[in-house]
Amino acid sequence: MTRGQDAVRRLAWQSKPSTPLCRTCLSALQTRLASASTSASPIETAPIEPSPSNAAPPPLTSSQSHATRYKIKACVLLSRPPLLTRTLTPFEKSFFLYQRRLNERLALPFTRYFYYQRGTPGDVEWKRKIKERKTPARDIGVYNAYGTEGWNDEVLVGDSTSEPGEQVERLLRDAEVESKEGDVVKKEVVERPMPRVSEADRIGDLRSLDRRLERTVYLVVKTPEGGWGVSGGGVGEEGEFAYGLSFACLDYVWGAERVIVQTGGVNMNTWVVGNMPIGHHVLNYPRAIVNKDKGTELRGEKIFFMKARILAGQANLKDNKFGTEDFQWLSKEEIQKAFHPRDWNAVKNILPER
């Protein structure tokens, strides 16, 4: 055995006397020792006596004498999905109008007798309305392809033809039916569609589910401390907090369902989407909570966010078991303003933009 191999084995025995070295590790240590000996003068190493295996370990500190644990909690992101399609962008409005007008131009001449039989009430109504709109389409502007201005079919700057509100008004005027009673002409008014802006949006009712119909809104609750957050509780049996991470996925689902009932009551028809959490957050306490009887040290909370949908009903905080004082249905931008920055950072990446 060479001097280098002997030094390597003594260093290995000094670090871990009970761990045998494989040939690969021995070769790597020998290479490192040889490279160090070429750049510096040789150092004589004295043999080091290995420590006995039955030596007493060093005493544990107060923080090491207890098993570290985290409280496992299931928080519910209860949401109502969008009820309306989103408002079109200016480009989408212009492109939609362009496609409609192009389709109408390619369909000229319009064969009305394919759709209306001669002499029928539908044919008579068609003849009356075509004099006003001068085009088969009802909501894309007035255009006469056979007149002297047939070449001029571009939409001018500032024209409101592509606006959905203007198109709705034209459709309503076109749907009016005239009836004659002697010499009096009466028009039957058509029922208007519901507006996209609800009454809850106009009065600023944050507790209504009929607000922000184009966006996803989430149930947020006001805690006894005065802050806003999502409802959550410990995973395990009712009234208990479970410690550790050895839980099946159904424990989170059952915990989420229990939290929904204990927070918002039984008048909500909800559905927990999937068995897996969609997010995770670790909250460390400023000071650990030591339980000397159980020999545990509670360091903080591990929060798992579960996704849920509300199908019908409304939250009722009358008999809630978490001391919740108020609730609101907020969108993502409103949640950012209401939440503490720490809580917002925990949920901002799992909330969809719409």
Please state which of the ranges 43-47, 172-176, 225-229 shows the lowest mean pLDDT: 43-47
Has residue 353 been placed in a domain? no
- Evaluate if residue 63 carries a pLDDT over 60: no
Has residue 62 been placed in a domain? no
342 and 216 in a single domain? The answer is yes
212 and 134 in a single domain? The answer is no
323 and 243 in a single domain? The answer is yes
User: Final residue of a domain: which of 140, 166, 188?
Assistant: 188
Give dist(CA 119, CA 107) in Å, integer: 24
How buried is 76 (Cβ within 10 angstroms: 0-12 exposed, 13-18 middle, 19+ buried)?
buried
Q: Which pLDDT value is given to residue 16?
A: 47
235 and 320 in a single domain? The answer is yes
Domains in the chain: how many in total?
A: 3
Give dist(CA 64, CA 17) in Å, integer: 26
- Evaluate if residue 266 carries a pLDDT over 70: yes
Q: Which two tokens stand for residue 138?
A: 């009802």
Q: Give the residue numbers spanning the domain of 3.
A: 1-54
Percentage, residues of the chain above pLDDT 90: 19
Residues 90-108: tens digit of each pLDDT: 999 989 888 988 888 887 7
339 and 224 in a single domain? The answer is yes
2 and 113 in a single domain? The answer is no
Rg of the chain over Cα atoms, rounded to whole angstroms, equals 37
Please state which of the ranges 181-185, 204-208, 230-234, 296-300 shows the lowest mean pLDDT: 181-185
167 and 276 in a single domain? The answer is no
34 and 118 in a single domain? The answer is no
How buried is 20 (Cβ within 10 angstroms: 0-12 exposed, 13-18 middle, 19+ buried)?
exposed
Give dist(CA 111, CA 41) in Å, integer: 104
- Evaluate if residue 14 carries a pLDDT over 60: no
Give dist(CA 270, CA 136) in Å, integer: 47
Q: How many residues does the chain have?
A: 354
Q: Which two tokens stand for residue 272?
A: 């927990």
- Evaluate if residue 212 carries a pLDDT over 90: yes
Q: Which two tokens stand for residue 273?
A: 């989407």
2 and 106 in a single domain? The answer is no
Is the distance from CB of 83 to CB of 212 less than 8 angstroms? no
- Evaluate if residue 351 carries a pLDDT over 80: yes
Q: What's the average model confidence in pLDDT over 222-229?
A: 83
Q: Which pLDDT value is given to residue 70?
A: 85
Residue 10: pLDDT band (50, 70, 90) is low
Residue 17: pLDDT band (50, 70, 90) is very low
Q: Which of 4-18, 157-171, 247-261 has the highest mean pLDDT?
A: 157-171
Residues 316-329: tens digit of each pLDDT: 888 888 888 889 99
245 and 301 in a single domain? The answer is yes
CB atoms within 10 A of CB 164: 13
Q: What's the average model confidence in pLDDT over 148-163?
A: 82
Determine the 3-state secondary structure of 169 from DSSP: helix
182 and 202 in a single domain? The answer is no
Give dist(CA 298, CA 288) in Å, integer: 5
- Evaluate if residue 81 carries a pLDDT over 70: yes
**Mean pLDDT rounded to a whole number for the chain:** 77
Has residue 354 been placed in a domain? no
Q: What's the average model confidence in pLDDT over 264-288?
A: 88
Give dist(CA 67, CA 80) in Å, integer: 41
Give dist(CA 18, CA 14) in Å, integer: 10
Has residue 60 been placed in a domain? no
Residue 62: pLDDT band (50, 70, 90) is very low
Q: Which of 159-163, 184-188, 232-236 has the highest mean pLDDT?
A: 159-163
- Evaluate if residue 237 carries a pLDDT over 70: no
User: Final residue of a domain: which of 165, 188, 211?
Assistant: 188
Has residue 286 been placed in a domain? yes
77 and 113 in a single domain? The answer is no
Has residue 352 been placed in a domain? no
User: Final residue of a domain: which of 160, 188, 216?
Assistant: 188
CA distances from 328 to 183, 211, 260, 280 (A): 57, 11, 14, 23
Enumerate the H helices of the chain as residue ranges. 3-15, 23-39, 90-106, 121-133, 164-175, 199-203, 249-264, 332-338, 341-347
E strand spans, 44-89? 67-80
CA distances from 62 to 264, 290, 339 (A): 42, 10, 36
* CATH number for the domain harbouring residue 327: 3.90.79.10
Give dist(CA 133, CA 126) in Å, integer: 10
Determine the 3-state secondary structure of 271 from DSSP: strand
Has residue 338 been placed in a domain? yes
Tell how strand 296-313 and strand 268-272 pair up. Answer: antiparallel
Asked if the peptide bond before residue 121 counts as cis, ω within 30 degrees of 0, the response is no
Has residue 193 been placed in a domain? no
Is the distance from CB of 85 to CB of 214 less than 8 angstroms? yes
Q: Which pLDDT value is given to residue 308?
A: 92
Give dist(CA 116, CA 123) in Å, integer: 5
